[in-house]
Amino acid sequence: MRHLATLCALLGLLISCGGDGTLFSATSRAMTVSLSGSPSAKIWRGQCSACHGAAGEGNRAFGAPALTQLSTDYLARQLRHFVGGVRGAHSGDDAGKRMALSVANLNEADIPGLAALITTELPPAQPAITITGNAARGEDYYVNICSACHSGNGQGNDALGTPALAGLNDWYLKSSYQSYLDGIRGTHPDDFYGAQMVRLAPALAKGDDINDVIAFIASLPPRRAP
């Protein structure tokens, strides 16, 4: 039995659950998700869905992004980073601290299955657009600054350790970028890929540059079609 409840549960967030022990069904925003009774599904139900949504669609109030467009490799690495203190340890990273607490009891055997469940069993999220910008201007910046690592279609490159950007919440893209600029993310000595972002982040630190890039990213088709 797992003894760690998510921080969201500690704050009194209610989760709607059903099933007979072998099937879990949850409804979020009129979307029904049915998962098997696997260990990964039980972890998702008990430690992830309260903040990230039953369907993995994200929740801005908790700083919890949609997850379903990220690759299994990337998700597994980030889970290991949260468990190992590479992410979520900075004093200014409130959302990261919540995440680190919620997965603190995961062991290495849990992580691959949980990451695979998110990318294969949950329906593809389609985040709402909340940030406006000049997508045409943003495309120029994206092609010249971002595409070499994140690919021209915004779907990332596991060989380079870069996540997909298309299909992520625009507010999360902006807050993540700001965390690199502020030194909240990417400064841990074991965060090799984050350190690369820290070095590159100042390239889009002026005016509406990042909003324009995010507006362009929002125009790209996601890895998994909604």
- Residue 23 confidence (pLDDT) above 90: no
- Cα separation, 153 vs 213, in Å, equals 13
Q: Supply the pLDDT for residue 208.
A: 94
pLDDT value at residue 34 = 74
**CATH class of the domain at 135-218:** mainly alpha
Question: Are domains 7-120 and 135-218 of this chain identical in fold?
Answer: yes
CA pair distance 159, 110, nearest whole angstrom = 23
At 225 the pLDDT is 81
Contacts of 151 (CB under 8 A, 6+ apart): 157, 162
Query: How confident is the model over 163-180, as a mean pLDDT?
Result: 96
pLDDT band at 18 (very low <50, low <70, confident <90, very high): very low
| Inter-CA distances, 171 with 128, 156, 164, 209, Å | 10, 18, 15, 14
Query: What is the assigned CATH class of domain 7-120?
Result: mainly alpha
Average pLDDT over residues 181-204: 96
Question: Is the per-residue pLDDT at 15 higher than 60?
Answer: no
Share of the chain above pLDDT 70, in %: 86
Mean pLDDT (the chain, rounded): 87
Examine the pLDDT at 10 and tell me if it is beyond 90: no
Domain extent listing, the chain: 7-120, 135-218
Mean predicted confidence (pLDDT) in 82-97: 95
The per-residue pLDDT for 31 is 55
pLDDT mean over 196-216: 95
Where does the pLDDT of residue 32 fall: very low under 50, low under 70, confident under 90, or very high at 90 and above? Answer: low
pLDDT at 14: 30
In this structure, the dihedral spanned by the alpha carbons of residues 22, 16, 48 and 6, taken in order and rounded to 10 degrees, is: -110
